[in-house]
Amino acid sequence: MTKPSVLLSRRWPATVERAMAERFDLTVNETDRPLSPADFRAAFARFDAVCPTVSDRLGPEVFDLPAARTRILGNYGVGVSHIDLDAARRLQISVSNTPDVLSDCTADLAMTLLLMIARRVGEGERQLRSGGWTGWHPTHLIGTRVSGATLGIIGFGRIGQAMAQRAHFGFGMRILVQNRSKLPEETLIRYGATQIDTVDALLPQCDFVSLHCPGGAANRHLIDSRRLDLMRPGAFLVNTARGELVDEHALAQALWFGTIGGAALDVYDREPAIPDALLGADNLVMLPHLGSATDRTREAMGLRVMDNLSAFFDGRRLPDRVI
């Protein structure tokens, strides 16, 4: 029997590529550079399955063709806001994702960023490496205490709950959550959390705010200038979810004028481009989209994609169907 043809849009961990090559007729983008819309259109005519990543932009122009050979997009990641799902539906292309397997690593990184910005770790390392440290003194790089502070979590799915686990039980933080749906009482009790009805009501109560909600048009610039003004003057914003959640121009102004204490980002609106105003802000910690970047997690993500593709081509139910 002919194996289904599959394209990986970027390089994946070698162990996963080997497993995929045994199961499918596999083609890998050896250049490991983002594919263009024209590349994707050509791929849709050639391959039975295409496996994009968050670094790909599959807007309506990618799906602008009368028909496609591709029957499924096996997305390497949880979020799918980079894929025009309505356009995929029109071409009768299914989409799967990779939930569960990256929750812990992303929450680990979110907690890392929170601690880094609170304790001014980025500033301290830059000062030390540049030779500017003159020794210990009582007022040097005074940061903000994390233990016992109030953390607001926007989006209380798997990653948001994993963040609450670390913050509440590891650092004794008070947890406030805002979620688009009503959460079961037992879920809130598990993390010592209180649900707040709206983002506007949550922001003024928090010392730290961590974003764990989906991206996409509905949540674009969820945190804008108006909402940044609702935060406490010394509060900190952490984003490991999606870059489009934050209005970067408004954030840069808030950081430069000191209307919030600082921010820590792992994702950006137009990755890999970052505004100069953010690059120059001392009260900002930035990482290059490392949320799921551990060996075990990246391998598990790839194997999860393979499980979905195998189920699809075997005529079984998709374990992680998006559409």
Q: What does each C-alpha distance from 192 to 156, 172, 182 come to in angstroms?
A: 13, 10, 16
Query: From CA 147, how far away is CA 145, in angstroms rounded?
Result: 6
Give the pLDDT confidence of 144-155 residue by residue, as tens digits. 999 999 999 999
Q: What is the mean pLDDT of the chain?
A: 97
pLDDT lower than 70: segments of the chain = none
DSSP tag of 316: P
Catalytic residue among 11, 119, 221, 289: 289
Centre a 10 Å sphere on the Cβ of residue 195 and count the other Cβ atoms it contains: 17
Mark whether 289 is an active-site residue. Answer: yes
pLDDT for 68 equals: 97
Judge whether 34 and 12 are in contact, CB under 8 Å. Answer: no
- The confidence score (pLDDT) of residue 184 equals 97
Domain with CATH 3.40.50.720 in the chain: 5-97+294-313, 103-286
What does 53-73 look like in DSSP terms, one character per residue? Answer: BTT--B-GGGG-SS--S--EE
Choice among 120, 166, 242, 304 that is catalytic: 242
Q: Among 179, 155, 163, which Cα is nearest to 242's?
A: 155
Question: In terms of CATH architecture, what is 103-286?
Answer: 3-Layer(aba) Sandwich (3.40)
Active-site annotation holder among 232, 271, 299, 321: 271
- As given in the structure block, the two tokens for residue 297 are 């997690």
In this prediction, residue 1 carries a pLDDT of 72
244-271 confidence digits (pLDDT tens): 999 999 999 999 999 999 999 999 999 9
Q: Report if pTM > 0.85.
A: yes
**CA dihedral in degrees (33, 39, 40, 46; nearest 10)?**
-120
What pLDDT is stored for residue 67 in this prediction?
Answer: 94
Tell me the CATH architecture of domain 5-97+294-313: 3-Layer(aba) Sandwich (3.40)
The pLDDT, as a whole number, for residue 199 is 98
Q: How many CB atoms lie within 10 A of CB 108?
A: 17
Q: Does the annotation count 317 as an active-site position? A: no
